[in-house]
Amino acid sequence: MTEKPVALITGASRGLGAALAEELAATHHVVAVARTIGGLEELDDRIKAKGGEATLAPMDVREDKAMQVLCRSIHDRWGNVDVWAHTAIHAAPLAPAPMINTKDWSLSVEINQNATQRLISYVAPLLGASGTAIFFDDTLPGDKFSAAYGATKAAQMALVRAWAKETERTGPRVVIESPAPMPTALRARFYPGENRDGLADTAQVARTAVATLRGH
């Protein structure tokens, strides 16, 4: 059993989620959740190379039963979670609002909105009064051709902001960061062909977010 506090990262196989997992692994035992097994294994290699430790959970956040089992397993093994960083997201292809594919819309609602709601209900007891949950907002909602992502991301953020206000006095602490644009696969879907030279370094964004958590 690890003596380190536990950090749960949902959406940990790449992008900001992977960068957060690597940053938090310096002080936490990381539980890394993602669908992409190869990405998780590569993340594990990087964490181990720096002397950290991780538990890989190749799961789909849409699978309600799997998320229940995961959270129960965390409780049984470690008792609680110190930090939960949620970065799992579905980026539907760009499309005019009248032409959104029904499958893409349903995936956006299920992953960005419904899965977040269920995870909050399962992870909140693990965080208790002293843990911290961190979420990430962006400027895409309302941009043309991004209606599926934008609508469901806005719904996610409304849910998280309500939770943050509800827990101001009781805990857990709920943090919303608005990071600078990063050269992630998510952004590439919305801005294909963009010059990425001026985008923020993902690792630096993760360091800033973790510093915010530790500054509490």
Residue 2 clears pLDDT 80, i.e. is over it: no
Mean pLDDT of the chain: 94
pLDDT digits (tens, 9 = 90+) for 96-147: 999 999 999 999 999 999 999 999 999 999 999 999 999 999 866 568 899 9
DSSP code string of 82-126: SEEEE-----PPPB-GGG--HHHHHHHIIIIIIHHHHHHHHHHHH
pTM attached to this predicted model: 0.94
Instruction: Give all domains of the chain, ordered by start, each with its CATH number.
Output: 6-192 (3.40.50.720)
pLDDT digits (tens, 9 = 90+) for 79-99: 999 999 999 999 999 999 999
State the average pLDDT over residues 9-20: 96
State the average pLDDT over residues 196-212: 93
- What are phi and psi for residue 8, nearest 5 degrees? -95, 125
**Confidence at residue 139, expressed as pLDDT on a 0 to 100 scale:** 65
Residue 1 clears pLDDT 50, i.e. is over it: no
